[in-house]
Structure 1
Amino acid sequence: MSVGSEMVTRPRELTGRGLITSASWMTGSHLIAQAFAYGSLIFLARRLPPASFGTVAVGTAVVYITTLLVDHGTYGAIMVHPRPTRSYLVRAFWRCFLIGVVLGAVMAASAGPLVGTFADGGDAPAVALLAVCLPLHAIGIVPTALLHKSMRFRRLAGATAVANVGSASMAVVAVLAGAGVWSLVARQVALFALLAVLTTVLCRPTLRHRSAVPNPSGVHGHEHSGDRWFFLFGVTMMLAANIDYLVVGLSSDASLVGLYALAFTIAMAPSTQFSEQVGKVLFAAAASSPETSGVRTVQSVRLMSTLLLPLVPVGILLAPVLLPAVLGPEWVGMVAAFQVLWVAGIGFAIDNCIGEALSGTGHIDFRAKVMAVRCGATIVALWVLVSIDGIRGAALAHLTVFVPYAAVYAIFGARLAGAAPGELWHALRPVVAAVACQVAVTVAALAALRAGGTSGGVSVCAAVAAGLAVSAFLLLRPFVGRRSQ
């Protein structure tokens, strides 16, 4: 990466409309991209056995955990740095890249023992090739942070969309050509490669802007002050999100890991593919104007809850009907785990709105400590519950840990972000009431339809539709009434 001689431009301050526009670009393009990504995943699931997914899931888990060692807090430190200089960015890039190369070589060399331990019956060469993702990820760290910092969300959204569509298309072509498990590997490597190239190209205009912000006193001593907390948060978050594949793999084989991996990927989509995209905007906005963080936090929590909470009963009820029908009968074993993970995924997506506000307002130390406790608790819960109940136990471990984690964020995290817990509850109360009515209508409709002899799949779909219509009416009524006045 070549860095011009000028300083990076100061992040633009986001107005309320600008926040919505930026979030719309990040989520809209990402939803389109993920439609291709998840569409290709379903297509691949119908043509590949669960063991192939289990092999790549273990390799990908190792990649994502190791990327935090490659990043070691660089992204977050650039985001909160008031004026990163040319030399600072060059050092950050080469540091990340060299670590990525070394760790990639280590991962490739240890692919055999990794597969033998965590994905018995899997393909070691496939995991070895996934190690290429580490240096590719390193190339994109600094450009991605700069695009976020300068609020170039449209460019970043376009890069993400192209990378996801391109990698998904490559995987489909590969599996049609008979590549087998290598189509899943190609999907991951292509994604990392496209992101590295596109973010590097797109951030170059940003690097040419001159900063008009005077250098604050003491800034040179600030360069690494936040690194350790961002690093701790990143490592523990990635462990909490990926260690379950390894724990499941220790007590089973690649096929069971594959069932769990696909359930986790789909069920956590509200958090990983939606909330995290909005969170990037919230993080940048909080760093730019921390004085309005409290209002934005309450608004974002209410919006995320309005969009996602009504989907909790929908996903639970439709999973036994849709997943085997779409993926095939060999994937029936993932249904129970998916239902539990779906609840946890939506909960984590809502909590993430508070978390990103904490990072942007300088409270990454609090967020990192809470995440470290969550990670430790998740590992303990996984170790106990997987031995008792397999992949459903792994799912229950995430849900069990979520409850106290959410309470800490709602009580203590919200205050640090500038929002009182009472304000959050006031904002969420109409949503909770609407979802309660939705559940009541859904249960009543399902009981009536089954009593009338309607077939199982039809009765579930009709009851879910009736409940969803009720919640949509209750949640949209205030906005319709406002517009009519």
Structure 2
Amino acid sequence: MTGTLWSSAETLVRQALSLTIFVMIARQVGAEAIGTVVLAMSLIAVFEAAVSDGAVERLVQRHEIEPLHLDSAFWAVTLLSLLLFAALVVGASAFASLFDAAQLAPVLQALALYLPLSALAAVPTARLKRDLRFRPFALRALLSLGAGGGLGLWLAFQGEGVWALVAMHLTTAITSLLCMWIASGWHPRLRMSWRHLHDLAAYGAFSTGSRLVIIADQRIAPIAIGLFLGVAEVGFFAMARRVLELLTQLLLSPINQVALPALSRFQSDASRINALLRFLERAIALTSFPAFLGLAAIAPLAVELVLGSDWMPMVPALQILCLVGLPMAIEFNTPVLARALGRPDLSLYLALASFVAGLLLIPLAATESITLVAAAILARQLLLVWPLRIFLVRYLTGQGFVARYLSLAAIFGCAAAMAGAIVIGLAWIPVQASGLQLTAAAVATGILVFIVFLLLFARHTLISLAYEARQRLGAAQTASIGSGE
């Protein structure tokens, strides 16, 4: 619980700053600049997954590690990052020509520096996560986003356009790297053990493969949109998905960061794993259901108020993506569960199924509109990814669909009633009201209706969740006192 609190603080700070800064920069630079950087980062993100994940994640999951594990992982990911950095610099022009966007080449070459910066921070970050030391992450969020976001904002208001975004990404990465090294207190020695590296790679092959497929899957949409609809449409879709990702990370990342080490410690105790999963699912549903449905209801008002009328083409796609967030939220833990139980191969198979479906559906939808792309992503989530994740949880834990989702149905019903009340309420508010007044009234109405419906129809779920939360917090405090922390 202590780790979750610090992780929650770090994510809250990071996402609040990130959203504020990104919105302010987006209003200055426009959709085309956003789309250019998104296309460049789409390729870099795939390379980063190959560099920083896999063997490093094994450092968190493995019961015991030796100093040679850390040194071997550090030098391996560093050398690989330099090779991929060189490949990106050489191939940037060819990649840019695919989208008929000349500015994409120098942007990609500059952002390629992100790879070695990420690699240098990977092992120190893994050590902190392994030890459940999440306090430094909150400081990292504040400093890196403050430095990168501050520089990006200044350059955006100076009219530097896309280079404001490039400077923001690189400055954030440099500051984050410094924070992780200082906080971890670890420094590599100039040595490498092939035996220790092989031990990490044996686990990391599936984990890295899974991560690579997930990242590639996330990049299908912007690349397909860039090829068929243009860079500006990439910007609109990227902004819609960025809003969804920010909300998802705010709600789920704190738990997701703590879940892997926590579930790994319980991997031999099925009853404790099942109890923890049930608790997490209800807690997540209580926050994510109203957040996603509420955002879908107020999206037209919020986008015009926050981003301006130039960004209104993204509204239908954003509303559809909010619906994608519902099953994503309650099944977020499935890949983490598989890795914690030493079955990263199952995460890879799940990711491959999603990737293949996306490769078939999304490019076809991208020939029409970004709204249809969002609809294709929703269809894939509901018809393929969600059922597969339900089956996988049952396979790993024995929990059935009815037992898991019965307690969540009441929460969903309350959130749906809230969204309906918002839509109906907006229809009755006088049209003379300003956008800010309409949005404030909609949010207040939604919160009030959701609380009332929870007290009427989900009181038992609230009481049991609060009781279990107190128990877990008390157990964490007792363990902390017993360990002398």
| Alignment map for 1:170-181 (pairs within 5 Å) | 170-181=151-162
Correspondence for 1:145: 126
**Aligned partner of 1:287 among 258, 264, 270:** 264
Cα distance change, pair 353–475 in 1 and its aligned pair in 2 (3 A): farther
- Letter paired with 1:246: I
Cα distance in 2 for residues equivalent to 1:197 and 1:470: 46
What SS does structure 2 have at the residue aligned with 1:470? Answer: helix
**Aligned partner of 1:392 among 343, 361, 371:** 371
Cα distance in 1 for residues equivalent to 2:305 and 2:155: 24
Cα offset, 1:438, TM superposition: 2.2
Correspondence for 2:140: 159
**Superposed CA offset, 1:26-47 (max 9, x none):** 1222211221111111111111
Unaligned runs of 5+ in 2: 190-194, 468-485
Correspondence for 1:276: 253
Cα distance in 1 for residues equivalent to 2:77 and 2:92: 22
Correspondence for 2:98: 117
**Aligned partner of 1:241 among 218, 221, 237:** 218
| Structure-1-length-normalised TM-score | 0.86
**Superposed CA offset, 1:448-483 (max 9, x none):** x16x77769566764553243221233365588789
Cα offset, 1:245, TM superposition: 1.0
**Aligned partner of 1:305 among 277, 285, 292:** 285
* Residues 244 and 394 in structure 1, CA contact (< 8 A), matched pair in contact too: yes
Identity %: 21
* Residues 248 and 391 in structure 1, CA contact (< 8 A), matched pair in contact too: yes
| Alignment map for 1:294-373 (pairs within 5 Å) | 294-373=274-353
**Superposed CA offset, 1:269-320 (max 9, x none):** 2334441332110111001222222111111111111101012332112111
Cα distance change, pair 90–423 in 1 and its aligned pair in 2 (3 A): same
Deviates more, 1:105-114 or 1:233-242: 105-114
**Aligned partner of 1:127 among 108, 112, 116:** 108
| Structure-2-length-normalised TM-score | 0.86
Cα distance change, pair 74–160 in 1 and its aligned pair in 2 (3 A): farther
- Letter paired with 1:164: L
* Residues 302 and 439 in structure 2, CA contact (< 8 A), matched pair in contact too: no
Cα distance change, pair 453–162 in 1 and its aligned pair in 2 (3 A): closer
| Alignment map for 1:169-248 (pairs within 5 Å) | 169-204=150-185, 222-248=199-225
* Residues 263 and 273 in structure 2, CA contact (< 8 A), matched pair in contact too: yes
Cα distance in 2 for residues equivalent to 1:479 and 1:378: 36
Cα distance in 2 for residues equivalent to 1:23 and 1:392: 36
Deviates more, 1:309-318 or 1:297-306: 309-318
Cα distance change, pair 119–294 in 1 and its aligned pair in 2 (3 A): farther
Correspondence for 1:31: 12
The count of aligned residue pairs is: 453
Correspondence for 2:454: 475
Cα distance change, pair 417–194 in 1 and its aligned pair in 2 (3 A): farther
- Letter paired with 1:52: A
Determine whether 1:92 maps to 2:69.
no
Determine whether 1:432 maps to 2:432.
no
Cα offset, 1:443, TM superposition: 4.5
* Residues 22 and 153 in structure 1, CA contact (< 8 A), matched pair in contact too: yes
Correspondence for 2:473: none
Cα offset, 1:418, TM superposition: 5.6
Deviates more, 1:30-39 or 1:199-208: 199-208
Cα offset, 1:439, TM superposition: 3.7
**Superposed CA offset, 1:320-373 (max 9, x none):** 112122212221111111111222134323321233222212232212211111
Deviates more, 1:119-128 or 1:272-281: 119-128
Cα distance in 2 for residues equivalent to 1:197 and 1:185: 19
Cα distance change, pair 309–479 in 1 and its aligned pair in 2 (3 A): closer
Cα offset, 1:430, TM superposition: 2.3
* Residues 354 and 385 in structure 2, CA contact (< 8 A), matched pair in contact too: yes
Over the aligned positions, Cα root-mean-square deviation in angstroms equals 2.8
Cα distance in 2 for residues equivalent to 1:219 and 1:134: 23
